[in-house]
Structure 1
Amino acid sequence: MRAICRALDLTVQIREVPRPEITAGHVLVKVHACAINPGDKAWLAGAIPGAPESLHDIAGVSGAGEVITLGNGVPPRYQGKKVAFYRSLKFSDHLVGTWSEYAQLHYLHCVILPDDANLEEYCGSLVNVITPYAFWKQVIEAGSPGIICTAGTSATGRAMIGVCKTKDLPCLALVRKTSDIQSLETLGATQVLALDAANFEHELETLAAKLGAIAVFDGVGGETLSRVAPFLPQGASIYAYGFLGGNQPFCIQTSQILIKGLHISGFGNFVSATVQDNAWSKSPRRYQQHHSLAAF
């Protein structure tokens, strides 16, 4: 079968690779559509140590397709079904990435879709739901009364609004333009603030304090986060999960970190409590350190 693979020199190649032979607990999926996420680009660049590997270094973590073969132990209900999948939920020696004609992954990586589902519409959906759900679970355990979502109109940001609405967690969504507010309100968002508002900083500070939004779900970084950080509540924590701001630097005075007691850390599915399991430490297929070093 043909697949898009990462070479040792971190270039991308189209290769002919063996079609996977089904193994216990896994499904073989005929891939119909797959997404290109920012995480895919980072993996291709060798910038995600600890990410699950794929046989033959096949790229791609998200996709949608049809299950054609079941391994031993897989519930029969998966046979012939359309599924959306995200291969990075569980370490396995038998993973085959999604940027290929056929993908192999554990059946628990898949969500069965309606028979009439448009697979292109679902090919990147699962990761965009898991990320905000995993974040919600983490901040609830940490005792945060509310959150701020900096990438409100992104796919993950929209899913975050849905999670917060379902879980009754106050969420302040940030958008770039005032004209973007209505689209989020249609989804059920009750607190949306535009970066182009004349009194943005004052409203941010007021609303964040009112909602107790001490956890920041940041998918932008750069200039946006630089504007947001000084106006966060005391003791707020910033969790960076993405970098839609590109190479823009995040700038803040050290005194702000000290005086406000700000905490800044990364957030990723691979190491979240939602995704973590014993397979993390047991699997011999680990990210190769020389790949990471080559990226620099």
Structure 2
Amino acid sequence: MKTIVFEQTGKPTDILKVMDMSAPEPKPGEVRVKVLASPINPSDLMFVQNMYGIRPQLPSGAGFEGVGIVDALGEGVQMRTGMRVSFTSVGTWSEYAIAHQRSLIPVPDAISDDVAAQLFVNPFTAYALVQESKVPEGGWLMVTAAGSAFGKMVIQLCKMRGIQTIGTVRRDNLNDELKTLGITEIINTEHENLPARVKQITDGNGVACVLDAVGGHTASEAMKCLSKGGTMIIYGLLSLQDPTLNAGMMIFRELTVKGFWLTDWMRRVDSQTRQDVAQNVIQLLASGQIELPVEASYSLDDIAKAVEHAEQTARFGKILVKP
């Protein structure tokens, strides 16, 4: 089989390569999945650069999620082969991948392969963070990098719940799409003063919560936009720069700044909560209420081109790897 591997960490376009090897055999509790499609997420690229919460064991495969067909079962696995499943693993950019049976989510026919490939990371994170934000109907929530796949999901979820959203962008080419998805206000941080505009939009009150994936100057400015008692949840660091946090502001405005990592959240919550999130996400995707657009798909042989495309800003959709 063909699979993507890296033998050292570094710039993805420099170190990722295609290798031919024997298809892996599942161990007890595992299944082998014939991969149909897998997305390129920021977390995948951070992992390859050794900048993620999970450290690669070299040589390593790449890609954390995908959709495929179960084609072999390990000892003790009570399911049938031939099922189409969304799954998580390390090494999904491959013709075949091994996944633990607990990571599998059966995919209904109403969800396409392109959508099912993206079912876990962004949808689960967006759903969980909108829950964690505790912003009530009619309240204000800010999401940085609003044009990202995650940002678009948050906007759609908030619209369904009656939550008003402010999104930050650096370019205006996706503004019409964001407005169609239901965003309330858009602020271009290249040309506008973020705290001043938020104050103007919210009648001086600020937002109850900020969901930040950028870090650096953007996160520092976003913190100034919080209302008294507000919360900023940091779930990414696209700028690769830490924000500067104002201690005085945190003290006198009783602000909370905390991190979020989906892997730990999934471990922390009970099984019923995980099932509820999965069912809700699948229902939203199957009904078309939430959209997950795809901009382009690439073969394993074109992994360098795929990564280059995924790293471009101002994309309208996700980049997929299709073995």
TM-score of the two chains, using structure 2 as the length reference: 0.66
* Structure 1 stretch displaced more, 16-25 or 149-158: 16-25
Amino acid at match of 1:182: D
CA shift, 1:269, in A, is 0.8
Which residue in 2 is equivalent to 1:3? 3
The alignment partner of 2:249 has SS state of helix
Does structure 1 residue 270 correspond to structure 2 residue 274? no
Structure 2 CA distance for aligned equivalents of residues 14 and 148 of structure 1: 40
**Is the CA contact (8 Å cut-off) linking 1:146 and 1:211 kept in structure 2?**
no
Structure 1 CA distance for aligned equivalents of residues 34 and 106 of structure 2: 14
CA shift, 1:158, in A, is 1.0
Amino acid at match of 2:82: G
Structure 2 CA distance for aligned equivalents of residues 175 and 158 of structure 1: 12
**Is the CA contact (8 Å cut-off) linking 2:144 and 2:212 kept in structure 1?**
yes
* Structure 1 stretch displaced more, 99-108 or 9-18: 9-18
CA shift, 1:149, in A, is 0.9
CA shift, 1:102, in A, is 0.8
Q: What 5-or-longer segments of structure 1 have no aligned partner?
A: 88-95, 280-296
Distance 1:45 1:114, change over 3 A: same
TM-score of the two chains, using structure 1 as the length reference: 0.71
For residue 67 of structure 1, the aligned residue among 64, 70, 75 is 70
The alignment partner of 1:32 has SS state of strand
CA shift, 1:12, in A, is 4.6
CA RMSD, aligned part only? 3.7
Which residue in 1 is equivalent to 2:87? 85
Distance 1:117 1:265, change over 3 A: closer
Structure 2 CA distance for aligned equivalents of residues 208 and 105 of structure 1: 46
Per-residue CA deviation, residues 150-201 of structure 1 (Å, 9 max, x unaligned), is: 1211101111123323444443333334553331221233x22222565753
Per-residue CA deviation, residues 58-103 of structure 1 (Å, 9 max, x unaligned), is: 2210222222234544444xx424333333xxxxxxxx52122211
Distance 1:113 1:34, change over 3 A: same
Which residue in 2 is equivalent to 1:29? 33
The alignment partner of 2:228 has SS state of coil
For residue 193 of structure 1, the aligned residue among 183, 186, 200 is 186
Structure 2 CA distance for aligned equivalents of residues 103 and 84 of structure 1: 12
Distance 1:9 1:54, change over 3 A: closer
Amino acid at match of 1:267: F
Structure 2 CA distance for aligned equivalents of residues 278 and 54 of structure 1: 29
Structure 1 CA distance for aligned equivalents of residues 2 and 269 of structure 2: 31
Which residue in 2 is equivalent to 1:291? none
The alignment partner of 1:161 has SS state of helix
The alignment partner of 2:197 has SS state of helix
Which residue in 2 is equivalent to 1:256? 249
The alignment partner of 1:34 has SS state of strand
Does structure 1 residue 42 correspond to structure 2 residue 46? yes
**Is the CA contact (8 Å cut-off) linking 2:30 and 2:99 kept in structure 1?**
yes
For residue 97 of structure 1, the aligned residue among 85, 91, 94 is 91
Structure 1 CA distance for aligned equivalents of residues 205 and 34 of structure 2: 46
Q: What does 1:224-235 align with in structure 2 at a 5 Å threshold?
A: 224-235=218-229
The alignment partner of 1:233 has SS state of strand
What is the identity percentage for the equivalent residue pairs of Structure 1 and Structure 2?
A: 28
Distance 1:57 1:208, change over 3 A: farther
Which residue in 2 is equivalent to 1:289? none
Amino acid at match of 1:242: G
Distance 1:180 1:19, change over 3 A: closer
Which residue in 2 is equivalent to 1:219? 213
The alignment partner of 2:224 has SS state of helix
Structure 2 CA distance for aligned equivalents of residues 100 and 151 of structure 1: 29
Structure 2 CA distance for aligned equivalents of residues 26 and 278 of structure 1: 22
* Structure 1 stretch displaced more, 20-29 or 51-60: 51-60
CA shift, 1:234, in A, is 1.9
Q: How many residues align?
A: 263
**Is the CA contact (8 Å cut-off) linking 1:220 and 1:242 kept in structure 2?**
yes
Structure 2 CA distance for aligned equivalents of residues 214 and 173 of structure 1: 14
Structure 1 CA distance for aligned equivalents of residues 261 and 174 of structure 2: 27
Amino acid at match of 2:26: I
